[in-house]
Amino acid sequence: MANTIRVLIAKPGLDGHDRGAKVVAAALRDAGMEVIYTGLRQTPEMIVEAAVQEDVDVIALSILSGAHMTLFPRVLELMKENGLEEILLTGGGIIPDADIEALRKIGVGQLFGPGTNTTDIADYIKEWNEKLDA
């Protein structure tokens, strides 16, 4: 049996709204994953450091502030600097389709908008993990 998927959920930047992140965290726990929630106002450096310390499989950013085109690339850059290329970087928030496409092109995983069924998020992470194990 595969190891439990470890997911770090982070709220980068100055966005102070974390209800969605907490709902997703609970849903992923209910789906059998181990979830570490970093809390509000995390810097990309803090997020990647936590990912290293917690030995996670997935980093999920929740961004509602509009800073996604700065924060996702910075986290991805720090992940590469720390040898975390095998970790999935995913997330969600208020992100326009054109920006989602641009972020996917640089290596960010699927992104989820408001109203996404939480089982879709859990299924995506499980499917991604199964591909790694194959």
pTM (predicted TM-score): 0.95
Residue 41 falls inside a structural domain? yes
On whether residue 100 sits in a domain, the answer given is yes
Per-residue pLDDT, 116? 95
Task: Give the model's pLDDT for residue 99.
Answer: 97
In a domain, 1, yes or no: no
Q: Which domain holds residue 89?
A: 6-133
Q: What pLDDT digit, counting tens, does each position of 6-37 carry?
A: 999 999 988 888 899 999 999 999 999 999 99
In a domain, 62, yes or no: yes
Note the pLDDT of residue 45.
98
Query: In this structure, what CATH number is given to the domain that contains residue 127?
Result: 3.40.50.280
Q: What is the reported pLDDT for 107?
A: 97
On whether residue 24 sits in a domain, the answer given is: yes
- What was the pLDDT predicted at 2? 54
Determine, yes or no, domain membership for 75. Answer: yes
Q: Is residue 107 part of a domain?
A: yes
- Which amino acid is located at 116 in the chain? T
Structural domain contains residue 111: yes
The pLDDT of residue 40 is 94
Which regions of the chain are under pLDDT 50? 1
Rounded CA separation 55/45 (Å): 15
Q: Please write down the HEC assignment for all residues of the chain.
A: CCCCCEEEEECECCCCCCHHHHHHHHHHHHCCCEEEECCCCECHHHHHHHHHHHCCCEEEEEECCCCHHHHHHHHHHHHHHCCCCCCEEEEEECCCHHHHHHHHHCCCCCEECCCCCHHHHHHHHHHHHHHHHC
What's the number of domains the chain is made of? 1
